[in-house]
Structure 1
């Protein structure tokens, strides 16, 4: 065999190996593509099946397909469906191997597993069935918002109006079931504290207004689109009159009579959830659900005490800067009652005040954020029917961005509205807080649909509270009162760690919790009472803000230290925001990887 033959043989071997490798790579790529397609289909199905089970979520996302639907979430049949939903998808997603998924897919798998597990764990408790109504959070309040005609439920076409009639029919079934479940709960030892019951009953009574023009559920009739014919208006007016008089008013009257009567008599005089069946275990579950951590009540309580002490020392500095001579508690009272901090008489003046804050910070936003949401946002006064017991809040825009995000501000009395904390409030609820965090998630085409609508309080509220700390970088907090307002807002969240765990794990009374807040923050007493009762209604939720904020600050400081001159604040914010709401442990792993890769 001569040298030419040897070379030819070697070349053939090399070419065969190259072809073999290329074939194997194409096969591997095809397998990976098939895995990705199957995984994507699973996530899509999870999202779609979730909308059928939670059609209100679809409505708030701007998906109109289920606007006529309202499943009875308190029925045994629904509970069984929901349990099967989480169980089956947990089993299905567990079949995918991490090595076959890209980074985004692995994150989606981890998030889906967390979502399934935390919800499956909750089925061992009866709280969601036996506490279907409270003064702050529950479905009846959401339906009141939708009924107003100015929220997510559209009233633009005749079909929109008939969809709402169909949805209300099913909602009335829920109202009757809620009453029945609460009676079951009473017999089993599940009953709300009396102080919460007396806040719920006026909300129910308001819906029994016999004058249709004053009844919230009649509102859409008063705002027919100009395109409707007179016949259409007449038919819909008749249908809505019948709906309100024949269905809504009787259902609410029955529920009101029950809650103001037998239920109030049976109401708890105790405060914390530990005083209900299996309450301690339930609270531990809620801590994990809302903080997305493994922290326990004792750890959180101690963290709260240390944060209260730290923030108090910062407040002392502001007090000295202003020149106030009394102690910090006296300064709280001074700030609460300072008429100079209550400059307005009309709600619209307060709304305009928030827009002015936005105008001040606009030039600096681009320095801190590479990305801004396309979804518009508005500031609105909270609806009258829930204003007295509501906190300021953000309602997300639609997924397609056509409905703006809305920052709701309760203004029961404009002349008594204190503006000292409005800059931090705007940063939290609007920009760059919830509006950036939620809108950028919804606009991120790389995320599967189910992750665009998830909300984990540890991340979501943690980001919003972290946003408050950006005020000086955004040109705000030049007024010492507004900076004190930021400290007050942070103190408010630190105090929550103490009083929430105090009430639900350490036997504190409502009155003890109120007194602790009065001694450590500048909120008015009426607002503090409303807040304490909020924590009583939803144990654990209030813990998420400070836990999440501290984790994001910790990750920022770590990145600044390890990356040095390579650290770019806009890129850090991209890393935090681009994945949307995820459990804090997953966020920490992501930032750690980004730091390593950036080096």
Structure 2
């Protein structure tokens, strides 16, 4: 073999060897693992979603009002242990929130972070003031739980059965309320006598109601017949009667006896929060919370006085334009007493609200481009609570239910016609319906 052939053979062998070694090395080399980088936004959004689910589980009534029926048979506990454990949960949430890198979040999630942080701070500060010691007032409490049932959506037999299960648990909440009030009484927390008397009257009305017309039974009596077969609806009504008679009413009787015999005699004569421990600080917190500002109650009061002065000046100009012969006081008396400004029955008052709402509707596109998808309605405040509550309020929509502007028709002779436009604009449209829905 000549020298050239030998060199070529050596070269070929060398190339083959190197190639073989390289192939071998490639075969045994660990493949690179694709690194999956999850953004801070993604992690934060997953956390928010999980917290929302936990919040709904903790507030099952709220979930049902939103149309989420996963917790339809549950209620939120109201014993003292629950409120103490809630503080720990809030603190844990606060610590978890701190674990996220705020600077790595996008602008939307930075806002979400700030809102959640504010909400947790408010809730933690609120825990310093035990409102559960004074959980009853004329606007609401365990004595008006039946109204919650009226706001739910019933689209099947199981929805009514779920509400019955909820009611079976609700007597525990009434008993817990009695215990909480007793504990509060021992620590100096009471409602004003004026409020306690009205709550007693409300519970008296529940106790004196005939079982066949009881507010807690109305939901079952009005249940859609199409959801039941054979005798199912009648059986549901009988089960509800038994529950109301044997559990709900006895719990109310125990509560009302306590209110009359122990609570009312020791209820405070004062009206404001300054009549309870740390009341001044409590009121300052409530002012900050509801205004989302750091204004003090005195500063807010000064704003109010300025507004009263401005509005009175405008009223005086109107009185002058009308060539009213009397003074300001006599004009107010005229507004309050003249029959021309009042309806003498609730039906006419409700119709006036309905007409006003329809007058407002076609004007809205001149101001707004985005509208709520859910419709709204105007209905009366329930007769049982109307004497004790405000002139009007609004409850937002949910899946399968419109938003509702509730108008108080109790004593229509005390509800002036000139309130109708402003209340409709405030409570219905654009007002709370555009705000909430």
- When normalised by structure 1's length, the TM-score is 0.64
Which residue of structure 1 lines up, in the alignment, with residue 159 of structure 2? 160
Report the Cα distance in structure 2 between the residues aligned to 1:267 and 1:110, rounded to whole angstroms: 40
Which residue of structure 2 lines up, in the alignment, with residue 229 of structure 1? 229
- Number of equivalenced pairs: 402
Report the Cα distance in structure 1 between the residues aligned to 2:188 and 2:372, rounded to whole angstroms: 47
Deviation at 1:244, TM superposition (A): 1.0
Which residue of structure 2 lines up, in the alignment, with residue 438 of structure 1? 436
Deviation at 1:59, TM superposition (A): 1.7
Partner residue of 1:62 out of 67, 75, 87: 67
Which residue of structure 1 lines up, in the alignment, with residue 406 of structure 2? 408
The question of whether the paired residues in 2 share the 8 Å contact of 1:67 and 1:153 is answered with: no
**Over aligned residues, Cα RMSD in angstroms?**
2.0
Q: Aligned runs of 1:314-333 on 2, under 5 Å?
A: 314-333=314-333
Deviation at 1:389, TM superposition (A): 1.5
Which residue of structure 2 lines up, in the alignment, with residue 273 of structure 1? 273
Report the Cα distance in structure 2 between the residues aligned to 1:365 and 1:179, rounded to whole angstroms: 48
Q: Aligned with 1:217: secondary structure? A: coil
Deviation at 1:375, TM superposition (A): 0.4
Report the Cα distance in structure 2 between the residues aligned to 1:253 and 1:131, rounded to whole angstroms: 19
- When normalised by structure 2's length, the TM-score is 0.87
Structure 1, unaligned runs of 5 or more: 1-26, 440-599
Report the Cα distance in structure 1 between the residues aligned to 2:77 and 2:243, rounded to whole angstroms: 19
The question of whether the paired residues in 2 share the 8 Å contact of 1:70 and 1:167 is answered with: yes
Partner residue of 1:71 out of 70, 76, 79: 76
Which residue of structure 1 lines up, in the alignment, with residue 197 of structure 2? 198
Deviation at 1:139, TM superposition (A): 4.7
Which residue of structure 2 lines up, in the alignment, with residue 304 of structure 1? 304
Which residue of structure 1 lines up, in the alignment, with residue 115 of structure 2? 111
Q: Relative contact order, CA 8 A, sep 6+: which one is greater?
A: 1
Deviation at 1:85, TM superposition (A): 2.8
Q: Aligned with 1:394: secondary structure? A: strand
Which residue of structure 2 lines up, in the alignment, with residue 90 of structure 1? 94
Report the Cα distance in structure 1 between the residues aligned to 2:284 and 2:109, rounded to whole angstroms: 30
The answer to whether residue 187 in structure 2 is matched with residue 185 in structure 1 is no
Report the Cα distance in structure 1 between the residues aligned to 2:267 and 2:121, rounded to whole angstroms: 33
The answer to whether residue 134 in structure 2 is matched with residue 131 in structure 1 is yes
The question of whether the paired residues in 1 share the 8 Å contact of 2:142 and 2:173 is answered with: no
Greater Rg by CA:
2
Report the Cα distance in structure 2 between the residues aligned to 1:170 and 1:140, rounded to whole angstroms: 15
Deviation at 1:133, TM superposition (A): 0.8
Which residue of structure 2 lines up, in the alignment, with residue 262 of structure 1? 262
Which residue of structure 2 lines up, in the alignment, with residue 238 of structure 1? 238
Structure 2, unaligned runs of 5 or more: 1-33
Tell me: CA distance 1:260–1:385, structure 2 relative to 1, closer, same or farther (3 Å). same
Report the Cα distance in structure 2 between the residues aligned to 1:243 and 1:410, rounded to whole angstroms: 30
The question of whether the paired residues in 1 share the 8 Å contact of 2:225 and 2:233 is answered with: no
Q: Aligned with 1:380: secondary structure? A: strand
Report the Cα distance in structure 1 between the residues aligned to 2:322 and 2:261, rounded to whole angstroms: 51
Report the Cα distance in structure 1 between the residues aligned to 2:88 and 2:129, rounded to whole angstroms: 16
